Amino acid sequence: MSKTDYREIGLKVGLEIHQQLDTRTKMFCNCPTRLFLGEPTKTVLRRLRPTQSELGQIDPAALFEFQRGRMVLYEIDNETSCLVEIDEEPPHDLNREAVEAALSVALLLKSTAVDEVQVMRKIVIDGSNTTGFQRTCIVALGGSIEVDATAISINQICLEEDAARKTGEKGLVVRYRLDRLGIPLVEVTTAPVIFSPDQAQEVALAIGRILRATRRVKRGLGTIRQDLNISLKEGALTEIKGVQKLELISTVVENEVTRQLSLVQIKKELRSRGIVEDDLKKEFNDVTDVFKASSSRVIADALKKGGVVLAVRLPKFSGLLKTELESNIRFGTELSDRARFWGGVGGIFHTDELPAYGISEKEVVELKRRLGCSEDDAVVIVADEYRNCRDALEAVVERSKEALRGVPEETRAANDDGTTKYMRPRPGAARMYPETDIPPVTVKSNWIEEVKSKLPPMPDVLTKRLMDEYKVNKKLADQLVNSDYLETFRTIMKNTALAASFVATILTESIKSLEREGVSVENLSDRQLVEIFHLVSQGATAKESVQEVLAWLSKNPQSNPDEAIAKLGLKMLSRKELELLIQRKIQGNLPSIEEKGERAEARLMGLVLGEVRGKADPKLVAEILRAKLAEAAT
């Protein structure tokens, strides 16, 4: 079918929206909730290990990360992190300001607050938490949000601490900065009652509007993250982590649907070829001598370092490894992802793509002969240290066995283009256990009533108020409500006499346009935004220069708008300077003026604006030009 029938294939999507709260301090200490822009003052090197739960179980995702053998280097500064972050001091009491902010979100979503907030520990062993776990707590249960006349059920509202931010990785050492660790996050989890990619995006947008409506959340890239739980009738539950841009949600869902449907087709094709799991054996052949003179740089580099080339035969898999699952991602890519994570290798080669990459036809023929392959068989090879090759090929065989069962349950990471990649196995039930260091917080009825009394208006009500108060159209009002700049807009309007539609357009459409062009608009501070509009209102620069100034400030976040205007040469010309410039243009174009008469004004206007754009008001340019032309004609 040309268009996917999502109901027919049984698509179900659940959302987890994580949003940083704009509190004064972190969740379990008194450090501020901002990122540190300087260099770290100290570092700590550690390796985390999995532990058993109270039932004697080890979480499979935790075991997976441990087996990768990585070390973690933590970068610390004295302004935004303390001994709590480095796990050298017990956590302080739960931040009540954060609990209240989460309660505000819960009440707007019609959720029922719990009687007592109990902190739990959720095992995380990728290094992003120094403790080896993330602290989280349920604040409210149930609720719903209406999207396009459909009630979307809310499962729960949680409050949890954000993880450290990754700053780099080299070999087996991964680096994390501790400034973000402990910033409070509110997590909104929907039931799996979303049945199309577009609906998933609309629901995320609606929840985001409510989060912003509280005016208690942070803004900018990295402050909000969407995780998706996606399943199909013939597929499996896949968790996709870290979708940072709202507009990517529908694309991620579409790509995951395509991926799972393709894997289902691979399963059916394998079964039709008569393959069973026992046919896939972990028999790894040392074929180093086949490639000892190979032109492949990857293989040559591995052999120079004393490595080997190992190969495994995948019976009757020929042609399937090149099957495209998502855009530019093939089944062979999934095998390669597993090999990288479990074996620590750079990747794999397989016969569906060979000869290529410096590997010759002669080498491929000899490889297949050595492994006793038929035309229907595929071969995967890896070049690295012997142990890494063995671990990588074990992962390849296991993933190939999973292909016979269909779609594996796993956790995947979102890429910037809306595709995904293997991240780790899905966590098990042993992942969560009680936190013993932090006393619970009682949620009394009088506290709930106090929070209710301070609830902000819902987004639709807020849109109407903006239209009435500032005389902007519905489109601009909606864009302001959906943006991160509503409060900034109010501040600008309070302190300048600029037209509301001009300010709103810059803060929504212009900033979004810059973002699409790759400009780091998240670097812009409220102070800078307010100041540039103040300078426009004072006549220091033209309205037309604002977007250029914002682009410059995004690249130079430590500077101020005055510096930007000076660097860009966008200081407003005085009337006298403008009159002299226009007079020169007229004198230099007298023959054309005499020839074209009144039609010369448009050409001159274009010439002048081309020279003074961003440094003069076009209305003033037109006024002076007409006056000067009138003088020249008399």
Please determine, for residue 47, whether its predicted confidence score (pLDDT) is greater than 60: yes
C-alpha distances in Å from residue 606, one per residue of 590, 621, 624: 16, 10, 14
Band (pLDDT 50/70/90 cuts) for residue 159 is very high
- Average pLDDT taken over every residue of the chain: 90
pLDDT in tens, 352-376: 999 999 999 999 999 999 999 999 9
Indicate the range of 62-71, 281-290, 520-529, 602-611 predicted with least confidence. 62-71
Residue 2 has pLDDT above 50, yes or no: no
pLDDT band (50, 70, 90) for residue 266: very high
* Secondary structure (3-state) at 207: helix
For tokens 């090999």, the residue is: 339
In DSSP terms, 384 is beta-bridged to 308
Residues 587-610 have pLDDT tens digits of 777 776 666 666 667 777 777 777
Using DSSP bridges, classify how beta strands 71-76 and 173-177 pair: parallel, antiparallel or unpaired: parallel
Q: Where are the domains of the chain?
A: 12-237, 271-425, 457-568, 575-633
Q: Residues 537, 497: contact at Cβ < 8 Å? A: yes
The answer to whether 254 and 197 are in contact (CB under 8 A) is: yes
Q: What is the spatial distance between Cα 81 and Cα 176, in angstroms, rounded to a whole number?
A: 12
pLDDT above 90 as % of the chain? 72
Instruction: In whole angstroms, give the CA distance from residue 53 to residue 236.
Output: 26
Lowest mean pLDDT among 44-48, 478-482, 549-553, 594-598: 594-598
For residue 355, whether the previous peptide bond is cis, meaning omega lies within 30 degrees of 0, is yes
| Cβ neighbours for 524, distance < 8 A, ≥ 6 positions apart | 511, 550, 553, 554, 557
pLDDT of residue 626: 77
| pTM tops 0.85 | no
Q: Which of 150-159, 200-209, 410-419, 604-613 has the lowest mean pLDDT?
A: 604-613
276-285, 456-465, 469-478, 536-545 — which is least confidently predicted?
536-545
Nearest to 206 by CA among 172, 246, 162: 246
* Residue 518 DSSP class: T
Residues 389, 324 contacting (CB under 8 angstroms): no
CATH homologous superfamily, domain 271-425: GAD-like domain (3.30.1360.30)
Confidence bin at 1 (pLDDT 50/70/90): very low
